[in-house]
Amino acid sequence: MISRIATSFALAAGLARAGTAGLRAVAPGGRGRWERTNHAGRTVGLYAGPAAAVAAATAAGRVRPAAGAAVLAAGVCGAYDDVVGAGDPRRGFRAQLTALRGGEVTSGAVKLFGISAAGLVAGALLKERPLDKVLAGVVIAGAAHAVNLLDVRPGRAAGAVLALAAPGLLRGGPGAELAAATTGAAAAVLPEDLGERVMLGDTGAHALGAALGVAAVACNGRAGLIAHAVAVAAAAVYGEKVSGQKETPSPQRHSSE
Residue 251: pLDDT band with limits 50, 70, 90: very low
39 domain residue, yes or no: no
Residue 172 identity: G
28 domain residue, yes or no: no
Number of structural domains, the chain? 1
- Tell if the pTM clears 0.95, that is, is over it: no
Residue 250: pLDDT band with limits 50, 70, 90: very low
32 domain residue, yes or no: no
pLDDT the model gives residue 204: 96
pLDDT average, residue stretch 118-126: 97
Residue 233 identity: A
164 domain residue, yes or no: yes
Q: What is the DSSP string of 26-86?
A: H-TT-HHHHEEE-TTS-EEESTHHHHHHHHHHHHHHHH-HHHHHHHHHHHHHHHHHHHHST
Q: What are the tens digits of pLDDT across the range 7-58?
A: 999 999 999 999 999 999 999 989 888 988 887 888 999 999 999 999 999 9
119 domain residue, yes or no: yes
253 domain residue, yes or no: no
Quote the mean pLDDT of the chain.
88
Residue 84: pLDDT band with limits 50, 70, 90: confident
Whether 166 contacts 199, CB under 8 Å: no
Q: Is residue 253's pLDDT more than 50? A: no
Q: Which residues contact 30 (CB under 8 A, 6 or more apart)?
A: none
33 domain residue, yes or no: no
pLDDT average, residue stretch 158-169: 96
140 domain residue, yes or no: yes
pLDDT the model gives residue 89: 57
pLDDT the model gives residue 110: 82
Task: Give me the domain span that covers residue 236.
Answer: 2-20+44-244
pLDDT the model gives residue 63: 96
Residue 120 identity: L
Residue 92: pLDDT band with limits 50, 70, 90: low
